[in-house]
Amino acid sequence: MAISLEHNSAVDRAFIKVKSGSKLHVDELDGPKLDNEQFDLATLSVDSILLAINVLPSIPCDSIIPLRMKDMAHGEYRLKVTANGEFEKFDVSIEDAFLKKLIPLPDSGYTFYVDENNLSFAEQRFAIVLKPKEILVDISLHPSRTLLCKNDSLEIVLDNAQSHVRYELWESERLVSATCTLYANEITEGYHEFRVKANALCSSSFLDETIKITKQSPSIVRIQHGKICQQGVATLEAEASGSTDRLHWFRDESLLFFVAYGSTFQTDLLQKTQHYFVAAQSDQGCLSEPQRVIAEVISFDSIRISQHGNILQSSYPENNQWYYNNVKIPEAIQAFLEVEVPGHYTVVNQFDGCSTSDDFDFIVLGIDHEEDITIYPNPVQDKLLISGLDDRVREIQLLDGKGIVIESLHFNEGKSQKTGIFELNAVASGIYFLKLVRHDRSTRIFRLLKL
C-alpha cells in the first residue's frame, strides 16, 4: 500500500507491505524515515519508530496504522492511499483526530488544511483505518445447467463477484466444492439444493440465492443376448435401472444409427452374427453408457445318415442320439448304428442350443456279409487278418466308434485275392468297424470287437 502526502508541487511517500516471514517489530526488511527539506510523512511501528517502509507479516482485521507528519507549513494538503494485493480486501478510511471524523478515503484522496491552529498540523493527527470489505449476499447466481448427467460438470457464474472473496458450494452442512464448479461424481442421484458461501479475510456468509440441481445417471442392469440357428430373427432384451427410463437400441457403439425403442428388440433376418448396443435414457434426457448385446448366428452343416449294408452312419462323429420309430434308443450315441429290424431311424445332434436331424427309412436285410471275404479272428486281440478280397477293393479303413479313421490299407487295381493285416496291439479294447472301399466308391462296413 502506497501513502502519499502532496503540498503544492512537493510529494512525500511512505509504504506498507505484507511479507510472510517478516516481523511485527522493526527488522532488516523495514526502512527508517529520513528527514526531507520540507514536510515529512511516515508510519509508526509498534516500536514507535518512524518508517518510510513498514513491512508486516500480515494484516489484522480492523487494523489501525498511525501516520506521523512534521515540518508542515500552512496551506492545503492532499493525502492519498493506493491499495494493492492483500490491501484490496479492505476498505480504507482516514481517522482525522483534529476534526474527530472517520472518513472513507476516495480514490482522489483526502484534502485538509493546516493553519495557525496548532492541532491542524499536529504530528499525530491522522491514522489509516483498514476494515475488511463487506460481503455482498444479494448476488445473482447463474448455473451453466440445472441437470447433471454422468460425467457432467457445471459452472456457477456470479454477477458482480467480489475479487477479495472466495466462494464455496455447500449442501446443508456439507462442503461439496471449494470452488463454484460442481462435478456429477460429487453428488448423489436425485434432486439437490445448494447454497454459495462467501469467505472473506475476517468473515464469511451465505449468499441469499439457492441453486437447484438434479442429477440423473441411468444405467443398464440386465441384458439378454439372442441366439439363432443357421438364420432367422433374434429377440434381444435389456432392463434399465429406473422404471421411467427409456431404452434405445443402436447398430453401433457411437450411437449414431438408431434402430428401435423398448425393453425388447427384434432384429432383421440375420445370416451372420450381429452386434447391437442399448442405452437407457432418463425422463429428463440423460443417456447411460451403451451396453453391447449380441445376436449370435450359429452356422453348422446339416447332419446326414449314410448306409453301409445294415450299418447306419452319422456325418457327425460325436454327440449323436439315435431314434427308432421316434423312440429314443438308449446309449445309441455313437456315429455308427447297427440295425437288425426294418423301420424309421432318426439321428439328432444338439449343440449350443441348436439341433440338426436326419431320417432314414430302412429295411435291414442282415449283417453285412460277403461270402468270399474272411475276417478273423473276431473278436481279435492283437493281429487281424482279412482275406478273400477281389480286385474291386481299393482300401480298407479301421474306424473307431466315432467314425474316425485309425489305420488304413491301400490296394492296387487289378490285383485279385488280396490279403490285409492290421496290427492291433496298441489299440484299446472296444467296438470298431472295418470299412471296405471299392474303386467305384461303394462301401461295405463290418463290425469288429477288440479284446
**Per-position pLDDT tens, the chain of length 451:** 999 999 999 999 999 999 988 998 999 999 999 998 889 999 999 999 999 999 999 988 889 999 999 998 899 999 999 999 889 889 999 999 998 999 999 888 999 999 888 778 888 899 999 999 899 999 999 999 999 998 899 999 999 899 889 999 999 999 999 999 999 999 999 999 999 999 998 899 999 999 999 999 999 999 999 999 999 999 999 999 988 899 999 999 888 889 999 999 999 999 999 999 999 999 899 999 999 999 999 999 999 999 887 889 999 999 999 999 899 999 899 999 988 777 889 999 998 889 999 999 876 433 444 446 788 888 888 888 888 777 778 888 888 877 788 888 777 665 555 778 888 888 888 888 888 888 887 778 888 888 7
Of 303, 272, 278, residue with least CA distance to 290? 278
pLDDT of residue 187: 93
pLDDT in tens, 212-229: 999 999 999 999 999 999
Q: pLDDT digit string (tens) for 318-358? A: 999 999 989 999 989 999 998 877 788 999 999 888 999 99
User: What is the Cβ-side half-sphere exposure of residue 184, based on CA atoms within 13 angstroms?
Assistant: 17
- 263: Cα separation from own chain's centroid: 23
CA 32-34-39 angle, to 5 degrees, is 125
Domain covering 220-298 in this structure, CATH number = 2.60.40.10
Residues of the chain with CATH 2.60.40.1930: 374-450
Instruction: Give residue 370's pLDDT.
Output: 47
CA angle 8, 9, 10 (to 5 degrees): 95
Strand pairing of 166-171 and 204-216? Answer: unpaired
Q: Which fold has domain 374-450?
A: Immunoglobulin-like (2.60.40)
CB atoms within 10 A of CB 182: 25
On the CB side of 74, CA atoms within 13 Å amount to 4
Tell me how far apart the alpha carbons of residues 70 and 41 are, in angstroms, rounded to a whole number: 7
Residues ≥6 apart with Cβ < 8 Å to 257? 250, 251
Q: Which three cell numbers stand for residue 199?
A: 469467505
pTM: 0.58
List, for residues 347-395, the tens digit of each pLDDT value: 999 988 899 999 998 764 334 444 467 888 888 888 888 887 777 788 8
Closest CA to 137 of 196, 182, 87: 196
As a dihedral over the C-alpha atoms of residue 405, residue 409, residue 414, residue 416, rounded to 10 degrees, the angle is -110
**From-to residues of CATH 2.60.40.10 in the chain:** 141-216, 220-298
Q: How far apart are CA 334 and CA 345, in angstroms?
A: 14
Ramachandran assignment for 201, one of left (phi > 0), alpha (psi -120 to 50 degrees), beta (any other): alpha
Amino acid letter for position 220: I
- The values of phi and psi at residue 311, to 5°, are -110, 125
The CATH classification number of 141-216 equals 2.60.40.10
